Amino acid sequence: MATEAMSAKPIRLAIVGVGKIARDQHLPAIANDPRFELVAAVSRNAVVDGVDNYHDIAELLAAGHELDAVSLCTPPVGRSAIAMTALDAGLDVMMEKPPAATLSEVARIEAHAVAAGRSLFATWHSREAAGVAPARAWLADRKVQRVAIAWREDIRRWHPGQDWILEAGGFGVFDPGINALSIATEILPGDWVVNNADLHVPEGRMSPLAADIDLTCGDIPVTAAFDFLHEGPQQWDIVVETDGGTLKLSMGGAVLDIDGKVTEATDAEYPGLYAKFADLVGSRSSDVDVTPLRLVADAFLVGRRTIVPAFEW
């Protein structure tokens, strides 16, 4: 179904999974990028106006649309089968974070993409935040002494009624927390290790609502505090102390503060992701970095679980 020469024509795209993140971020980014043409949507519970809508990817493919690519915005559990079905159909694939429920699934999808000769993009939207690239450049010339991550937000505000996020494979507080890890591993490339973790799991649920993690990047100590029940002002901060001053990324990477000099820019995370996907499709290449997912998996493996009171919406 995919065409090999798309330089003169927009990439004909279907979006799979029409939830909050798709409506808030993906659909506006697609609409504002002339390199893409949204031709269909797939969802069990929602529709996108102005395009054909289908219940599942099999129904989409059976309809015979002229398609080049799909953007997968479903929950991570079950995404592997959808991705491989799309690749088998000759489509390029972009995946919302986290790319799949397990590292093995990501490896399988990536191998499938290589065999099919298609482009695969495992996205980390927070890496596109305005302050991330300049933070990495500033840190490259300095000796980092320690890092502190504080990622605290309200699950009821950002994921109302979404029980899947607290089930097995739903990641719990690591659904937002993995965004922090994606930024940290981008601005400080190196050998990251999870040393230990404390996971607070509500009674009757499978995934934690809070976590405290001790990590290292090479010989740099890193602490991370994740909280999914944080009311009031939301907090998405990374503080990096160096021999040449202190760097702070706040608001999820949108605001960069270096020793009191603050730079703030408008949100361009998802437009940046789609620009990268267009480049990958055009060059017939892929971008699959599992480092943030590996750290989350390690935290689940070594984490000490404490059962806390039941969570209700």
Catalytic residues: 97
Contacts of 23 (CB under 8 A, 6+ apart): none
Burial 298-309 (b: 16+ CB within 10 A, else e): bbbeebeeeebe
260-287: string of b/e by CB count within 10 Å (b at 16+)? eeeeeeebebbbbbbebbbebbeeeebe
Residue 28 pairs with which residues in a beta bridge?
Answer: none
| Terminal Cα distance for the chain, rounded | 43
List the one residue out of 63, 82, 90 whose CA is nearest residue 3.
Answer: 90
The amino acid present at 218, given as its one-letter code, is G
Strand partners of residue 149: 224, 238
Report the alpha-carbon angle 206-111-166, nearest 5: 10
Peptide bond into 28 cis (omega under 30): no
Find all residues with CB under 8 Å of 180, minimum gap 6, and list them: 126, 149, 151, 224, 226, 236, 238
The answer to whether residues 288 and 122 touch, using CB atoms and an 8 Å cutoff, is yes
In degrees, rounded to 5, the angle at the alpha carbon of residue 130 between the alpha carbons of residues 258 and 135 is 40
Return d(Cα 73, Cα 43) in angstroms, integer: 10
Tokens of 270: 């998802």
DSSP state of 244: T
